[in-house]
Structure 1
Amino acid sequence: MSQSLVRLIKIDKTAAGRRLDQWLAQQCAPELSRARIAKLIGSGQVRIDGKPVLEPRFKPPTGGEVELILPPPVAAKPKGEDIDLEILYEDADIIIINKPAGLVVHPGNGNAGGTLVNALIHHCGQHAAAGFGLSGIGGVKRPGIVHRLDKDTSGVMVIAKNDAAHGHLSRQFADHGRSGVLERRYQAVVWGVPSPPGGIINAPLARDPRERTRRAIARNDAGDVRRAITHYTILRQSAMGDGKAPAACLVECRLETGRTHQIRVHMAHIGHPLIGDKTYGQAFKTKINLLPESVRAEVAAFPRQALLAAFLRLQHPKTGAIMEFTVKPPPDMQNLLQALAL
């Protein structure tokens, strides 16, 4: 099995006042490009004096030592793997699945296999005689992928089986239902109860400057700022609380835009993070003290953000038929709802 290659580079006076990615590219030329080094930095593969540096523009201190970790090469194309899929609908143009929590959508850093793409390649290979394949628009590592769900978010996804279907579906998702029929609704279990009980969160998102894998509410006009709008409605409120307000509620969120971690960031932004969200809800973990002692342990043990892609409406890319798909919460989320009397 291939192992990562580690290079140690002393930081000399040639690095003074220069960006880390720029200086490393010079040190590693021609083997590594500046773009490749920037990706390594962003994925935590570069350390200075033992501490990870995640910002390419960081200016390294003279006299230190850079540890550059080069992951082993991976296959250019994902391989099919026999992974169970819950298929809600399938024809020669699209597949609709109910993605389970814990399943990564496509291969990437740290996830060379065991992804939804690997499962789809295997599934479609078994049905090749029927003309079932996957579109290539998304590239070799994202065949058929029109949209994504976070690893620990479950729910409805559509996959394109050919380029024509992919293009049609991509236009629907880009429009977000403003002029078409596409609609996505999510269900989230959040701490507290938003006020008012329904509203619009209009807050642009950008990459968190302190941690590149996170998103944050944009505070300025940085280059990666993206418009982000979420419509929310309270569905049910927990009977548990401190006597003044319920400890949690079930919220339906409808996306007007589809940004990475949008619902999770937006709900935390208004003070009601998703239960189980270790990335955006850590500052609110004391809210568990509002619950009766008998249910605290079960809620504290919930292993992921409590988020379900519950509903998807779209237009079939070939027939034009309007199709709707609804899924129920998976068992772990049902148990959470029951524990919270939701």
Structure 2
Amino acid sequence: MKLWDHPMSENDFRQCLRIATGATLGFTISKIFGWNYGVFFTVTPMLLLGMVPVMSAHAARQLLAAAIVCGLEVGILGGFFGGHPGMMTGIAFVLFLYKFACMSKGTLFLFGANSVLSLSIMLHFASYPSSDLNDLIFSNLLANVLSVVIAYLMTFLIPDAEPRQPPARPSEPKGSHRMRHEALMGASIATLSFLVFQIFDLNDSMSAQATTLLLLFPMHWNGALGYARKRAMGTIMGVAFGMAGQLLLYDWSGMLVLIIPLLWIGAMLFSYMHVKESSGSGAGFGGLTTLGILYGQYLTPGNDLVFSALYRVSSIFFAIVATLLVTYLIHRLLNSFEATRFSAA
């Protein structure tokens, strides 16, 4: 499995600086103001700056639209049908279906990707009576707005050294049968993931839940299989860095002034890997998001990050195996029909 296939340029190094500094800034602001759901404020800048090398108004609109749409969906639909599991499952499938359809088209990939992650996590947390639904929706919206501001700030303070070449366009547009395949496969697995985490009451497995969705981002079986191996590698590295950081700080792990530089160093290392891979979502990106989840959600005074990290590893590995198995079965099922076949007949 080849990872280091992209030469590091000055633009790439500056992107690493933007990712690490932006994620650390989001984490710091959320901790200073004592906002809940710190994972939103840490991981969302990582996703935006990692997936969009050059910040643009189109990317900002997609991110903000995803936050607003998901907030309305969770607030209205979750409020009305949250107590009816059967109806909520059908509604969740429809919501996931159109979001994966947006991802399949390509031009709205960021909107769909951010919507899928936000909707799945928010629907799951909203189902618990102890969760404040308004706080959950507002935190996600605020995190997305702050991420856009941070991304523009990082672009202004750490601009590219030279203009980038526009991304290569696909030689041939996707066929309608492939787009149906990708949308149906993604929606089916995302809905099954939502059901499993609801049925087994897994309210402390956000990283595993995110993994089941991130595996779907390549939008096909072969891509999911390749990403699974890289995600497993990234998870191990992210967890190892998080555990080493807590062991280094020991009793001082609750001091924000010491946590911030460690988070920046870790984010910089994984950003470097992410850029060197040049694969969109690989081991570096997996390590980056794992680190963001650990620091953003589980690094709190009196919380044992080592136990949380070990639990993350076991739950993520199980999520990878289970998701790959279901992905393969659904891929084979959809390929049995001409209208939903992945490749041309």
TM-score by length of 1: 0.27
> Which has the bigger relative contact order, CA under 8 A and spacing at least 6?
2
Q: Which structure's CA Rg is the greater one? A: 1
More strand by share: 1
